[in-house]
Structure 1
Amino acid sequence: MLGAELRAFHMVARLGSITQAAKKLGLSQPTVTTQVRNLEGRYGVELFYRGGRRLTLTDEGARLLPRVQVLLQQEADIEFYLRNCSQTQGSLRIGATSPYYVLELIKRFRERFAPIEVTLEIGNSQQVLEALEEYRVDLAVSSQLTQDPRLTRLQLGQDPLVLAVHRLHPLAGQGCVAVTALSGHCLLMREQGSTTRQMTEALLEVAGVVPGAQLEIGSRESIREAVLRNIGISIIARHEVPDHPELRVVELQGAPLIGEYLYCLKERRQARLPAAFLAQARDMAL
């Protein structure tokens, strides 16, 4: 029970919110609230100031937080060791922003290590890198380029950003357009934390473009479905635009390349399964 309460405390301390912590932990808000209050009540200590919308650590909470972080890291290390200590069995958890580069790697990996269980979790760039840092995945494939010294990085590929439009859209007949041509059109955007969204917003800001409207949609698949219904247009990586008679790809002048990178915590890059996956990725990248 103490372990669950400490995990709840840790997540609330990191996010400053019961609501966000509950979402991250996959629990209800009342459960997280109860776990934190039970921890405080059992030991007669106040860990959070509860004034305002954001919970703030008290001095006692701030002193407890690094101790809990060490404990949770040790727990993750033990779990990682037990999953990977067998030479014939084990599991590998991978987080990725999209399936396009990682699926072929997983296919080749399973051909060599058939008994190994592989799980794939899809999220945006921020989510998968957070999952790696929190030991919830062993490897992360992300389009976000980070120089974090705790991580080892391998580039898997790169593609230009392009404009995906419906065949009946006014821009569909253009082979290449300036970013200013997007002015006045409904633009479909990924959620906050997406590298594609960050790059799109930077392009619009530099060009001084104000879209006619912005519609936030939380997945690549949903954005493609929205473009297919001619709801709006979207800036996405070229390889993410499927071959479809209703879709058209329009090049964007000055659009940057977006990369895809494989990340692993340096402290775990020599572990058997992550090391095997990294080695295979390097071979395929040559």
Structure 2
Amino acid sequence: MDIRQLRYFLEIAREGQITRAAKRLHMEQPPLSRQLKQMEKELGVTLFDRSGKRLELARAGELLRQKAESLLQQFHESLNEVKELDEGVRGTLAIGAVVSCVSLLPPKIKLFHERYPNVTFHIREGDHFLLGDLLHHRSIELVVTRLPFEFVPVPKAYEIMPLPSDPFVAVVPRPWIAQTKLGSGSVTLRQLADCPFLTLKTDKTTGMHERVLERFRQSAAEPRVLCECSSVAIAVALVAAGIGMTILPKSVMASFPHPDIATVAIADTVFKSEVGIVWLKDRYLSKSARHFIGMFR
């Protein structure tokens, strides 16, 4: 079995039909069918269940799919590593960022582009689970994220470079500054406990939500949770409408400037968010990815 046959197999697995797979591979159906039979004969197993309208992977086929994807990825990475040996920094750098870290990217990308004009960017935004999945499947090379990184399919699979920590602040409707004691320049968590609270929480990621609630408990306070928001954008929109307040890392608000929103320092606790760059351990990193990480050191 060779690399070409593995590509054929993976295309059949994706399409679930030899006719469609042959069309995507720009070849006729009979030769592709012969290649599949040859693979099954060589391995001595049945790779697909052919009982339905769609070809479904058998147990052996599913195992081969996982191994084949990994082998082909390593094969392409090896080719890229060889090609880059005598080349400058060029190509496309695919990176991910959680929305609360997006504001960290523009100054670095601007400087990087000035130094390496032959590199283009592909940027994906999402939660830990989406970005972790993209990283695991090599759709992106690195992630700028809040720590800890909650997507961990394989323990100790990641390298993490910590970045400077980011203080949490109270994000409040601007009219509240004049109407309450928040105008003193700082506020305690006990004061905030009396305000309608908008918390960030999704079905998969709960780290920031739990950290904020724990800080309230340490201050012998319990927030009045009005709404659980699945994104920073939702929470900020509700704050701007005067519905409630939230607590976010200070740098987040650089991405959501709004005239009806004010940020206030939290006085009674040292409350910071840890930030870092995450990439797969023991996997090839392109020159552009290595140089981009270097700009944060």
Fold equivalence (TM over 0.5): yes
Larger radius of gyration: 2
Distance in structure 2 (CA, Å) of the matches to 1:116 and 1:206? 47
SS across alignment from 1:117 = strand
Distance in structure 2 (CA, Å) of the matches to 1:241 and 1:270? 31
Q: 5+ unaligned residues in a row in structure 1: which ranges?
A: 10-38, 49-59
Distance in structure 1 (CA, Å) of the matches to 2:137 and 2:259? 42
Q: How does 1:1-12 map to 2 (within 5 A)?
A: 3=10
More deviation, 199-208/75-84: 75-84
| 271, 276, 280: which one aligns with 2:286 | 271
Partner of residue 220, structure 1: 232
Residues 115 and 81 of structure 1, relative CA distance in 2, 3 Å threshold? farther
Cα shift readout 1:119-139 (whole Å, capped 9, x = no counterpart): 111122343233222322101
| 109, 114, 125: which one aligns with 1:111 | 114
Distance in structure 1 (CA, Å) of the matches to 2:189 and 2:14? 46
State the Cα distance separating 1:187 from its structure 2 match. Answer: 1.6
Distance in structure 1 (CA, Å) of the matches to 2:223 and 2:15? 41
Alpha-carbon contact 1:92-1:273 (below 8 Å) kept: yes
Distance in structure 1 (CA, Å) of the matches to 2:51 and 2:77? 31
SS across alignment from 2:239 = helix
Distance in structure 2 (CA, Å) of the matches to 1:171 and 1:124? 35
More deviation, 207-216/271-280: 207-216
Partner of residue 182, structure 2: 172
Residues 269 and 153 of structure 1, relative CA distance in 2, 3 Å threshold? farther
Alpha-carbon contact 2:77-2:284 (below 8 Å) kept: no
Aligned-partner residue type, residue 191 of structure 1: K
Residues 72 and 191 of structure 1, relative CA distance in 2, 3 Å threshold? farther
Partner of residue 203, structure 1: 215
Alpha-carbon contact 1:126-1:194 (below 8 Å) kept: no
Aligned-partner residue type, residue 68 of structure 2: L
Alpha-carbon contact 1:186-1:211 (below 8 Å) kept: yes
Aligned-partner residue type, residue 223 of structure 2: P
Cα shift readout 1:236-262 (whole Å, capped 9, x = no counterpart): 011223465422222222142112201
Question: Aligned pair 1:76/2:84, yes or no?
Answer: no
Residues 197 and 40 of structure 1, relative CA distance in 2, 3 Å threshold? farther
Q: How does 1:120-199 map to 2 (within 5 A)?
A: 120-146=123-149, 149-169=156-176, 170=180, 172-192=182-202, 193=205, 195-199=207-211
Alpha-carbon contact 1:124-1:194 (below 8 Å) kept: no
SS across alignment from 2:295 = helix
Q: 5+ unaligned residues in a row in structure 2: which ranges?
A: 1-7, 17-46
Aligned-partner residue type, residue 258 of structure 1: S
Partner of residue 50, structure 2: 42
State the Cα distance separating 1:227 from its structure 2 match. Answer: 1.3
Aligned-partner residue type, residue 131 of structure 1: L
Distance in structure 1 (CA, Å) of the matches to 2:78 and 2:243? 48
Alpha-carbon contact 2:10-2:65 (below 8 Å) kept: no
Partner of residue 96, structure 1: 97
Residues 112 and 212 of structure 1, relative CA distance in 2, 3 Å threshold? same
Partner of residue 54, structure 1: none
Residues 42 and 244 of structure 1, relative CA distance in 2, 3 Å threshold? same
Report how many aligned residue pairs link the two structures. Answer: 238
Alpha-carbon contact 2:164-2:274 (below 8 Å) kept: yes
Partner of residue 28, structure 1: none
Residues 219 and 76 of structure 1, relative CA distance in 2, 3 Å threshold? farther
State the Cα distance separating 1:233 from its structure 2 match. Answer: 0.5
Alpha-carbon contact 1:184-1:213 (below 8 Å) kept: no
Alpha-carbon contact 1:268-1:274 (below 8 Å) kept: no
Distance in structure 2 (CA, Å) of the matches to 1:273 and 1:81? 16
Alpha-carbon contact 1:190-1:196 (below 8 Å) kept: yes
Alpha-carbon contact 2:97-2:126 (below 8 Å) kept: yes
